[in-house]
Structure 1
Amino acid sequence: MFLLILFCGLSFCSGVQNTKVQRETSGNSFLWIIAKQLARLEDKVQDIQKQYNSKDKEIETIKEILQSKKFDAVKTPTVVFKARDLRTDVNLIGKRLVFPNMIVNHGSGYNRRTGVFTAPVSGVYLFSLQLCPELKASIHMHIKVRKSGHVIGDLNFKNQIGRQCVSANGVDFLSRGEQAWIYCTSASSSGDVIVIADHGNSFSGVLLHT
């Protein structure tokens, strides 16, 4: 009887011990799974952080590019002029045309006494000429650039129908100090060929880009 009781006691203790070991083993497995999930979550967080840093760098690069473009736009100075009303139209052949009345001269490039524009900065310039010839008068004018010798605008016209104005344009790159003006190549006579009183007679120019 005693031996039976002892055997039962030992069996019970063994069962309790096995259950404890199983519980400990099961608990360790659960903790391992949790640790594994946390590790994966940490990896995902790091990946997201890397993506965020990459996007942040892209945004900064775009900002720098935009700032650079903005700076480029700002650094082009304002150079523009317009002069009108011819000083004279007598004996113009082989001479420069002078427009003495200034409408605007931002950059101080145009000389109203000589009729010559001197580029204050290097860049691409657009020039425009408008003239109002006398009836039955013919004129041939060039917009010329001194250093290069380019003829960048050509106005050739004979007025046969009454009062009207004609124009010519020219674009060229001028270095700083280079000059442009209007030159009379030919005219129908040495006398009056242009309506002096007409404010439509003008010479203008503007800096497009440096």
Structure 2
Amino acid sequence: MRYIIYTLLLVLNFSCKSTDINWYLIENNDQQSKHSDVFGYTSGYVDYKGDTIILLDKYIRCFTDTVKHYAIVLNTKNELIGINRNEQKLFNAVWNGEGVPIGESDDMIMIMKNDKYGFANNKGEIIIEPKYKCAFSFNEGIAKVSNDCSKSDDEHFRWIMNTWILIDKKGNIIKKNTTANNGLQKWRNMW
């Protein structure tokens, strides 16, 4: 009988433990960042118990609110990067043109290397190496990319693509288009 009670207590003890391994963003609006006045406050990460994982103000800014596999942070070299749980750099993340990182879309995130764009998955693994001069985020499993393009000259950040390619989440080409205006009506409203 004592063995049964002990076993039940042991099982209950382990079953009540949280399996939450996520990190959670914390911000301290009362503490001025030592790195920059741009964001004005400090940020870091804690676990589900509230234990500090990444100290406040270790990075200029932490952007990802709930970290499962990677976080987007602005490091002290002013690089927008994706880091893993060991704080190793996985990739360079991409700004959206308005001071915010481009987030995941369709479980893929746009990344950058040497002024070329590619994509990583929602685990932070690089799936499509950066090789495109211009790119749009994935939508319904498809991304629009190009190497024959430029940025707009006005105050609004836009890609001007002379020719473009539609790719899937593995980087396979679905459709090539010879001119940006000649094209698939189905995809026109996606970007």
Aligning the two structures, in what range does the TM-score lie when normalised by the shorter sequence? under 0.3
TM-score (structure 2 length as normaliser): 0.28
TM-score (structure 1 length as normaliser): 0.26
Q: Which structure is larger by alpha-carbon Rg, 1 or 2?
A: 1
Which of the pair is proportionally richer in helix? 1
